[in-house]
Amino acid sequence: MNGVHDLGGMQCMGPIHHEANEPVFHSAWEGRVYAINRALGAWHKWNLDAWRYDIELLPPPDYLRMSYYEKWLAALENRAVKYGMVTKEELASGRPTPGSARATPVFTVEMAKVVEPRITARSNDPSVAPLFQVGERVRARNINPVGHTRLPRYARGKTGNVVLDHGVFLFPDTNSQFLGEKRQHVYSVRFAARELWGEAGSPKDSVYLDMWDDYLEHTGS
Amino acid sequence: MNITRRDFLTTAAGTAGAAATPDLPHSDEPHGHDHQVVPSDPALRTKALESLLVEKGLVDQAALDALIDTFEHKVGPRNGAKVVARAWVDPNYKARLLSDAASAIAEIGLGKSAVGDHTLVLENTPKVHNLVVCTLCSCYPWTVLGLPPVWYKSTAYRSRAVIDPRGVLREFGLQLDEDVEVRVWDSTAELRYFVLPERPAGSENLTESELAELVTRDAMVGVAKVSMPAGGTKA
């Protein structure tokens, strides 16, 4: 989706505010939102790609106006309703519908003490063959999917070199909408800054993006 | 923070006035960020959502407390700093870190399961400077650096890091020579990058733990170099 979340290359977003001795959470509610997000993930109603897509689906003016954890909260409320965890009425009233079933908690204190990485399902499955080779010159496809994608606009149609094969990963474009894992190789692809930005780029500099097989095409060179 | 989480849970028991209290900005911090001017609304909505989910049995309050404690006190850039300092003093460790970061990070005392096998370490040299960004969201090597700072997640950083990395670095006070190659890593997949900064000149006599004290989060993201403390070389 060509949304406002796809920020790479925009120039109108103002200066970067660096805060000395920044706290992990600036307000108590931010920590609660973060923790609720992680805890609800234990129900496995969604995956990480679907989770990201929910944030991208926030209305563009909200996405740009809200703070980071405000976006998390808004997406969390939407998600809780979308996946049937709460009803809109319950969300509005803050109370469970009388007589509604109570879930059995799965997320225990003990589990929360362990900081586990998100399930990324990387593998080196030899049955999934790479379509591109390290050293190969490749082009990022000029595609404009209307759903979730991890191919930023600024790289589409640009040519680069495969520098690393990271192994096999789930394909976000389909996984985000529960349309299949479509496992395939992900590569680190180096794009020269001049290729991406023309004369604005330094001739020495480059940007490395992680690209799935489905995002690339052969250049024949 | 001047309001503790326990205070929040106690005071946000149901009245709007009490729940608004935790949104007061920190009196000892510079202000002016978006997150400093949020109305009390998010705090109220969060409290309502949490109590609803607890009543429905979907989350456990103590589990939430434990999660917050973990990210406020146990996970953070000090872990990454230990990794960097070890790499500076032990060339064999550094070689392992660059070829198999997950195993090397596990040696530091972070369990391998806490890191995953999807972390890559980028070595800065006098000729190559690496910078990490996530233009599409906020991907960050949190298992070694903790949760990302607000600036890393900001639209300003995410948009400009790829098109004007040298300008971004200047904004952080780092002017690179033209002959230094800048490599920007846009974290589009489930791979997490962090930077092994250059060991500062004059640090030859420091111990590994003294070196770790010098390593900043910003240097491990690539927006700063590691420098010796003002006052010169420690004995």
Do the Cβ atoms of B136 and A120 come within 8 Å? no
- ipTM rounded to 2 decimals: 0.95
Do the Cβ atoms of B64 and A96 come within 8 Å? no
Give the torsion through C-alpha atoms of B34, B39, B40, B45, to 10 deg.
Answer: -80
pLDDT value for A115: 47
- pLDDT of A36 strictly over 90: yes
Which of B150, B171, B174, B216 to probe by mutation at the A interface, max A CB count within 10 Å? B150
Range of the domain at A182: 137-218
CA of A221 vs chain B CAs: smallest distance (Å): 24
Q: How many domains does chain A have?
A: 2
pLDDT value for A191: 98
pLDDT value for B107: 87
Residues A108 and A40 reside in one and the same domain: yes
Closest CB from A5, A8, A36 relative to B49? A36
Q: What is the C-alpha separation between A178 and A175, in angstroms, rounded?
A: 5
Residues of chain A contacting residue B132, judged by C-beta atoms under 8 Å apart: none
pLDDT value for A65: 96
Q: How many domains does chain B have?
A: 2
Q: What is the C-alpha separation between B2 and A204, in angstroms, rounded?
A: 47
pLDDT value for B232: 53
Active site residue B137: yes
Q: Of the candidates A42, A45, A54, which has an alpha carbon nearest to the alpha carbon of residue A85?
A: A45
Q: What is the C-alpha separation between A42 and A36, in angstroms, rounded?
A: 10
Do the Cβ atoms of A15 and B171 come within 8 Å? yes
Task: Say if CB B200 and CB B131 are below 8 A apart.
Answer: no
- Tokens standing for B104? 């090397």
Could you tell me the CATH number of the domain that includes residue A168?
A: 2.30.30.50
Task: Say if CB A202 and CB A14 are below 8 A apart.
Answer: no
Q: Work out the average pLDDT over A118-132.
A: 79
**List of chain B residues with pLDDT < 70:** 1-40, 110-117, 231-235
pLDDT value for B53: 94
pLDDT value for B4: 40
Counting Cβ atoms within 10 Å, is residue B203 exposed (0-12), middle (13-18) or buried (19+)?
middle
- Tokens standing for B81? 């700093």
Q: How confident is the model at residue A106 (pLDDT cuts 50, 70, 90)?
A: low
Q: How many residues does chain B have?
A: 235
> HSE of A145 in the Cβ direction (CA atoms, 13 Å)?
16
Residues A96 and A150 reside in one and the same domain: no
Tell me: the pLDDT tens digits for A133-185? 999 999 999 999 999 999 999 999 999 999 999 999 999 999 999 999 999 99
Q: What is the mean pLDDT of chain A?
A: 92
User: Is residue B230 a part of any domain in this protein?
Assistant: no
With a threshold of 0.80, does the pTM exceed it?
A: yes
Contacts of B100 (CB under 8 A, 6+ apart): none
Q: How confident is the model at residue A44 (pLDDT cuts 50, 70, 90)?
A: confident
User: Is residue A177 a part of any domain in this protein?
Assistant: yes
Give the residue from A81, A113, A145 where a domain finishes: A113
Active site residue B187: no
Could you tell me the CATH number of the domain that includes residue A81?
A: 1.10.472.20
pLDDT value for B110: 67
